[in-house]
Chain A
Amino acid sequence: MAVAEPKGRSLVRGASRPAGGLLLRSASLSYLGVMVLLPLVALGYESTLPGTAAFLKALSDPFARHALWLTFVTAAAMVVINAVTGTATAWVLVRYPFPGKGFVNALIDLPFAVPTVVTGLMLVALYGPTSVLGAFLDRNGWGIIYQKPGIILALLFVTYPFVVRSVQPVLLEMDRAEEEAAVTLGASPFTVFRRITLPTLWPAILTGTALSFSRALGEFGSVVMVAGNRPLETKTGPMYIFGEIESGNRHGAMVVSVVLLACSLGVLVVLNRLQRRGGEPGHGR
């Protein structure tokens, strides 16, 4: 035992356990390389293979540009709505007691669990032209399904949990002494929220919105069910990519893919930087 002890201590470091540790490390890194890095490299390489001019030409295709524009506009609209409703939901869930709270809290994550195609079908079932509500809305010129509002609605459903779930823990751990002090000094509830609560919540709201924006840029399953796939009207970026793959224009599909991917990755990288600067512990670092 006396001999084994120093050896046992040194065993804890991976570097001094060459055979097994190295095998584990190389196996898991190879898996990551083959599964994630290689596909990424392949996409980047193949999309730029015909040269910069061809890349820019594919990007200047009016259908591609409209699809990208639509993706960004709908994602931006969704983010604005979600920032407000998500924060309000987290607030109500943490601060106010009401019957059925556990039920609502559990169901917040439902959009993460339900398949996106099913989400799309749900919205079609409710707002589609065959439903009573959908027919009524259509008659009054408030069509949702196969229109742009349908896309935003699908994105809202799919990304609803992001803001709620990033704001909720911050609200739970927040020290309420400052708010109470403000109340005793005569501040109105709105002032307290604006001057004290919101500055604390701000980073969490930003995290949630950035995650939902990044997710929305790539959303396909729910959007394809509700958007109606009309070019230059309701065709989003991912739908354009799929259409181009189907029709054999793989380069066009790759170029739009690179742009979308760069944007959603960019959002996440910026978010990561901000979090680290803010002293918040980065996820898994």
Chain B
Amino acid sequence: MAVDVATQAPPAVPRRPTPNAWGRRLLTAAVLGWFALLILVPTLALVRGAFSGGLAPFWQALSSPDALRAFRLTIGITLVATALNTVFGLAFAVVLVRHRFWGKTLADGLVDLPFAVSPIIAGLMLVILYGPQGWIGRWLESAGVRVVYAWPGMALATAFVTLPFVVREVVPVLREFGVEQEEVSYTLGAGRWTTFWRVTLPSVRWGLAYGVTLTVARSLGEFGALLVVSGNILGRTQTATLYVHDGIESFNTEGAYAASVLLAGVSFVLLIGMETLRKRVEARERPE
């Protein structure tokens, strides 16, 4: 603060730093206090709760067969949902920016819809469609395919909830990038596929990576939709977040705390990744 006043205030405008300085300090302290109270202290309380018995019980809780199965299922579902949404999100972003077609505004609005839908409602929608008596589930059931109360339904629910991320992150980058370089590529005789791989994809890579990171983070943490869709069959359809929830309900608090700390740790790492990627995206959007 002292540096700021010394280097900037005198040449700029005749400001009066003295009455402001206390206001500044007070406001900064208030904001930091609020931030600590809301975000930091609860995080520390969680970590403290998880390690209250030392490291050994923490590891023991995490390496229990139920916990391992839950994390394995979470990883599997995350992989499926992320793969689906990366491929289709990228395709849809290209369609949305480059193509002109009837109903484009509607399609554009529909992409954002999952953000407005409560996870519980998302789960309910999928049960209506794919449940044993559902619109589509009825036919799948007679063909011997189980969607709801099994992992395909959970992957579907996760894909629904995370659908907008890749599209929303790629669209602005793609629009900013323009068509000139692609035109050059076509003029030089490259095919559409080559142009996509060599020109379009590299230009949107940071936006895409950012969208994928958001998708992964949200997939790992999805809970409400999975709770409705999974039926929560122990050891079969229990994901990491469901494991945390059930741990609290059934007084397996050590397990719940340990799994929570691991989930929070992973999301923290992803967050740092996001920060790095966002800087890259912003640098690309504003070349100067």
Interface residues of A (CB under 8 A from B): 4-5, 8-9, 11-12, 14-15, 17, 20-21, 24-25, 27-29, 31-32, 35-40, 42-43, 46, 85, 88-89, 91-92, 96-98, 104, 106-119, 121-126, 131, 153, 156-157, 160, 180, 183-184, 189, 214-215, 217-221, 224-225, 237-238, 241-242, 245, 250, 253-254, 257, 260-261, 264-265, 268, 283-285
Q: Closest chain B residue to A133 by CB distance?
A: B45
Of the A-B pairs whose beta carbons lie under 8 Å apart in the complex, a sample of 6, sorted by A's number, is A9-B183, A89-B31, A110-B268, A183-B13, A250-B128, A264-B117
Given A117-B260, A156-B38: A38 and B100 interface contact (C-beta under 8 Å): no
Residues in B with CB closer than 8 Å to A112 are 214, 217
Cα of A217 to Cα of B224 in the assembled complex, Å: 13
Cα of A5 to Cα of B186 in the assembled complex, Å: 9
Interface residues of B (CB under 8 A from A): 1, 3-4, 12-15, 19-20, 23-24, 27-28, 30-32, 34-35, 38-43, 45-46, 48-49, 88, 91-92, 94-96, 98-101, 107-108, 110-129, 134-135, 156, 159-160, 163, 167-168, 171-172, 179, 182-183, 186-187, 189, 192, 214, 217, 220-224, 227-228, 241, 244-245, 248, 256-257, 260, 263-264, 267-268, 270-272, 274-275
By the criterion CB–CB under 8 Å, are B245 and A117 in contact? yes
Min CB distance, B192 to chain A, in Å?
A: 6
Q: Closest chain B residue to A111 by CB distance?
A: B39
Given A89-B34, A121-B46: A106 and B271 interface contact (C-beta under 8 Å): yes
Of A98, A121, A254, most B-chain CB atoms within 10 Å = A121
Min CB distance, B211 to chain A, in Å?
A: 12
Cα of A24 to Cα of B42 in the assembled complex, Å: 46
Q: Closest chain B residue to A246 by CB distance?
A: B228
Cα of A114 to Cα of B39 in the assembled complex, Å: 11
Cα of A124 to Cα of B251 in the assembled complex, Å: 13
User: Which secondary structure dominates where chain B touches chain A?
Assistant: helix
By the criterion CB–CB under 8 Å, are B121 and A261 in contact? yes
By the criterion CB–CB under 8 Å, are A98 and B128 in contact? no
Of A39, A225, A257, A264, most B-chain CB atoms within 10 Å = A39
Residues in A with CB closer than 8 Å to B48 are 125
By the criterion CB–CB under 8 Å, are A114 and B221 in contact? yes
Min CB distance, A107 to chain B, in Å?
A: 6
Cα of A254 to Cα of B122 in the assembled complex, Å: 11
Min CB distance, A64 to chain B, in Å?
A: 14
User: Which secondary structure dominates where chain A touches chain B?
Assistant: helix
By the criterion CB–CB under 8 Å, are A265 and B13 in contact? no
Q: Which of these, A125, A264, A283, contacts B49 with CB under 8 Å?
A: A125
Residues in B with CB closer than 8 Å to A121 are 46, 244, 248, 256-257, 260
Q: Which of these, B98, B116, B121, contacts A43 with CB under 8 Å?
A: B121
By the criterion CB–CB under 8 Å, are B268 and A32 in contact? no
Q: List the 10 shortest-distance A-B pairs measured between CB atoms, nearest first.
A: A218-B118, A115-B221, A39-B125, A122-B42, A126-B45, A113-B267, A14-B99, A220-B224, A28-B92, A221-B223
19 A-B pairs besides A189-B23, A242-B227 with CB distance below 8 A are A12-B183, A28-B88, A31-B88, A32-B107, A35-B160, A36-B163, A42-B134, A42-B135, A89-B35, A106-B275, A107-B271, A114-B267, A114-B268, A220-B119, A220-B120, A238-B120, A241-B124, A245-B124, A268-B115
Q: Which of these, B46, B99, B134, B171, contacts A284 with CB under 8 Å?
A: B171
Cα of A39 to Cα of B116 in the assembled complex, Å: 14
By the criterion CB–CB under 8 Å, are B264 and A118 in contact? yes
Q: Closest chain A residue to B1 by CB distance?
A: A97
By the criterion CB–CB under 8 Å, are B183 and A8 in contact? yes
By the criterion CB–CB under 8 Å, are A114 and B125 in contact? no
By the criterion CB–CB under 8 Å, are A285 and B260 in contact? no
By the criterion CB–CB under 8 Å, are B4 and A97 in contact? yes
